[in-house]
Amino acid sequence: MSENLTLLFGARLSAAVVMAALGSLLAVSFKKINHLGLCILISFAAGALLAVALFDIIPETMELVGLRLGLLSVLTGYLLFYAINRFVFHICPACAATHTEVNFKAVTVAMVVALSVHSFMDGLAIYSGSLTGSEVGFLIVLAVAFHKFPEGMALSLVARGSGMRLSKALGLSVLLEAGTTLAGGLAGFLFLKASSPHWVGFVLGHIGGGFVFLVIHALLSEVIKHHPQSTLLAAFAGATSIAVVGFLIGAF
Mean pLDDT computed over 55-77: 93
**Which CA distances in Å does 26 have to 12, 85, 152, 161?**
21, 26, 9, 15
Residue 159 contacts residue 175 (beta carbons within 8 Å):
no
**Mean pLDDT of all residues in 124-136:** 82
**Which of 85-99, 185-199, 207-221: highest mean pLDDT?**
207-221
Q: d(Cα 158, Cα 112) in Å, to the nearest integer?
A: 11
Tell me: pLDDT of 64 over 50: yes
Other CB atoms within 10 Å distance of the CB of residue 86: 11
pLDDT band for position 1 (cuts 50, 70, 90): low
- Give the pLDDT band of residue 90 (cuts 50, 70, 90): low
| Gap between the Cα atoms of 232 and 224, Å rounded | 8
Mean pLDDT taken over the chain: 81
pLDDT in tens, 105-126: 545 566 677 778 889 999 999 9
Side-chain half-sphere CA neighbours of 23 within 13 A: 32
Q: What is the pLDDT of residues 212-251, one digit of tens each?
A: 998 887 777 666 777 788 888 988 999 999 989 888 876 5
| Closest C-alpha to 205, from 9, 100, 73 | 73
Place 102 in a pLDDT band, splitting at 50, 70 and 90: very low
**pLDDT score of 57:** 92
Higher pLDDT, 74 or 174: 74
Is-contact 161 97, C-beta < 8 A? Answer: no
Residue 229 DSSP code: H
Of 64, 71, 78, 80, whose CA–CA distance to 199 is shortest?
A: 64
For residues 155, 156, 160, 161, the Cα torsion angle rounded to the nearest 10 degrees is -30
Angle CA 174–176–180, to nearest 5: 120
φ, ψ (nearest 5 deg) of residue 29: -80, -15
DSSP letters of 73-133?
HHHHHHHHHHHHHHHT--S-HHHHHTT-SSPPPPP-HHHHHHHHHHHHHHHHHHHHHHHT-
> Could you tell me which residues come within 8 angstroms of residue 7 by beta carbon, excluding any fewer than 6 positions away?
none
Query: Are 52 and 140 contacting, i.e. CB atoms less than 8 angstroms apart?
Result: yes
